[in-house]
Structure formats: structure tokens, C-alpha cells
Amino acid sequence: MKTTLIKLASVAILSSVIAACTSHTTNDIAEVPLRATGDMGVIIERASGQVQIVNHTSKEVLAEVDGLGDLSHASIVYSRDQRYAYVFGRDGGLTKIDILKDKIDKRIIQSGNSIGGAISQDGKLVAVSNYTPGGVKVFNSETLELVASIDSSILTTKPKNKDGSPVRSKVVGLVDAPNNKFVFSLFDSHEIWVADFSDIEKSNETKAAPNAMPKVTKFTDIGLFPYDALMSPDGRYYIAGLFGEDGMALLDLWHIEKGVQRILPNYGKGEQKLPVYKMPHLEGWAMAGDYAFMPAVGQHKVLVVNTKTWQQVTEIQAHSQPIFVMAQPDNRQIWVNFAYPDNNTIQVFNTETFELVKTLTPGPAVLHMEFTPRGEHVWMSVRDSNEVQIYDTKTQTLLKAFKSSSPSGIFFTSRAHQIGL
């Protein structure tokens, strides 16, 4: 009987200890603030080399992270799990930010001057396009170790560098494409290249040193000076804008054997050319139904193009020279911002009738817009007012504004699951 009582007492003591530990653990877990990434984003503060981490449901700033270098032309892509933001800086910096811990996870300087980047379909590779010294570098997304370096030397010209090496072309319009490919344009040599990393991934070489070269398919003479490019939302069409001539260059990735096709070859012919104060951005272009809406270089208009024939259907007269032409997620309206000196204005157009819905004047230097994933709100960076403004897309009315130091790009984590962004 005595032994049984001792055993019962031991069990009671053990049960109370377990209960206490469980209660303590539960309380500890309850005290840990949980944060989901689905409604988060990052805003570039270009003048101060820092970013704001925001929540677009509560419309609030959660944190600021500094030490990111030159962000005068910065862009961002996200990891597949939406936890990490990869920031491409103008100083050649590649910075990996942990948006749950509000701090820099890793940072490297990979070139002298970079203009943007992309993340592969499987999320394992981050590619950076470079102005100086040119070319594309590809990194392991987890460690930021170099995987491959793609040279953009212009072999058709005489060497001009001091060391006798060929001059390299600036690389622009770098986007991801299905099957672990990257597509980009060479500004100085008038080319489009497709870098296929699918075989490298299969051979598990993404953790290897930079001798793991992808298969690169090159298309030459695609048109003069491609300045930017875009990928259709389904990942099929890559279209490069041309600065040296009217028109655009289109590559159908479903039928890459057909090469690059010239489209819109004569838009603007016979019209007076205007000074180009800022090149339009093609990434984030608007596609709605059977139409694509594209900014016209140096003209006060938006081009409406049939995406089945790639012929221009009509044009929309706009307030000034468009920079971004962006469609709401429901594709019902496009929102357009403009180049200096008319960059205090936003115009909203109906995608069915092409009629003007509303003209807004948020303030000086409206640089960028970003829609919430389902399109109920749009966020705008108003650089010279040092603020970000949030609008209701149905009524085009201002909901909220908050302070931000020279804001430019706004990037929500929903981009993690979109091709070409």
C-alpha cells in the first residue's frame, strides 16, 4: 500500500510539473508577436539609403531598415515564402532583408552600378543586371554566393578599355521566365539574350562556384538601344522598348525558334518629337482583356495594342509623357503617372472605353504606384512631399497619407508569386 501511495504521489507531482511547463510554454508563445507576410511590403526611401516595411491591410509602417547604400534607382524581388526582400541598389549592392526580423540578413557589393534584378521560378537564384561593368551576375538566393557570371562584351567593336578587353554592354530589362530562365536586353549591342538555368538546377550546381554556366541563346539586331523590357503576366512574351528608333522588339518564348519580331514599327512617325525627360518604365505594364497599354516614348499618349496581332488599335491622349501605365488587378482601369515637369499628376482611364475617369494631383514627383493584391487600394510615392498616399480605387479618393523620406518604389509581397516581377 505504501509503495502504491508513493507512485501515485510521483505521478501527481509529474503531472503538475508538466501542466506548469505547458502553461508556461503557452504563455510564452502567446507573448511572441506573430506577423504574416501576405499583406506586407517594402518602400524604398531613396535619399537616405533605407526602406520602410509596411502592412497594407492596417496601412501602417512597421519598421525602417537602413544601411542599404545608393537607392536612387532601386528595385525589389521577394523570396517564394515572402519573408526575404532582395534589394538591387545603384551602387551595385545586393541586399537581402528579413522583413520578419526587420533587419539586413546579408549584403554584398557585386558590381559598380546595377539597374535591377529578378528571382528564378524555383526561388533559388537571384540575377542582377549591371550597367558597370555590364553583364549579369547570378547568386544563390540563400547565401548570396556567386553561381554564374554572364559576360556582355561587345565582340564586334575594337577593345576600348585600358586593359585591352572588349567594352561590355549595359544590361537592362532583366526578368524571370518560366523553367528557370532569365531574359534581358543589351543596350549598347542591340540584343536580347535568354539564359537557361534549368540544367544547372537539375545538376545541383547552384551551390557551385561561377563555372556553372547556363545555356545562353542570343538574338542580335533586335532594334536600336533597348532601354527597358517587360514580360507578359503568363510568361510568354518578352517585349523590349527601343530608344534609338520607333517600335518595340517582341520575343515569343513559346516559339523561340521564330526569333525576335519587330512590332509597332511606325508609331510616332511624322509627328513632332518632344524632349524625353525620363524614359518610361515598361515593367508593370497593363494588360486588360485583348489589349496592352504601353507608354509612348516622348509623346503625350498611351498606346493601345491588340495582344493577338500586336498591332496598334488606337491611342489615348494623356496629360503628359507617361512613365508607368499600370492596370488594377481587376483590369477595369489603368493608372498613369508622368515625367517631369508634369509629375504631380495621375490619370485614370477606363480599359473598355479608353475614356478618362479621373485626374488626380497627389503632389510633386509621383514616382510609383502599387496596388494591393486584390486591387481595392493603390499606394503612391510622392517623393517631393516626402509622403506615401493611399487611395480607394473605386472612388479615387485619398484614404491616408504618411511620412516617408523621398519615397520611390513600392513593392508588396504578392509580387513573390507573379512572373516577370
Task: Determine the 3-state secondary structure of 26 from DSSP.
Answer: helix
Residue 42 has pLDDT above 70, yes or no: yes
Mean pLDDT of 345-366: 97
Residue 155 has pLDDT above 90, yes or no: no
- What does the pLDDT read at residue 166? 77
- What does the pLDDT read at residue 167? 85
Mean pLDDT of 181-203: 89
Query: Higher-confidence residue: 254 or 19?
Result: 254
% of the chain with per-residue pLDDT over 70: 83
Mean pLDDT of 219-237: 92
- What does the pLDDT read at residue 2? 47
- What does the pLDDT read at residue 399? 98
Mean pLDDT of 214-229: 94
pLDDT tens-digit readout, 113-148? 888 999 999 999 999 999 999 999 999 999 999 999
pLDDT tens-digit readout, 394-411? 999 999 999 999 999 999
- What does the pLDDT read at residue 273? 58
Query: Higher-confidence residue: 24 or 132?
Result: 132
% of the chain with per-residue pLDDT over 90: 71
pLDDT tens-digit readout, 66-99? 999 999 889 999 999 999 999 999 999 999 999 9
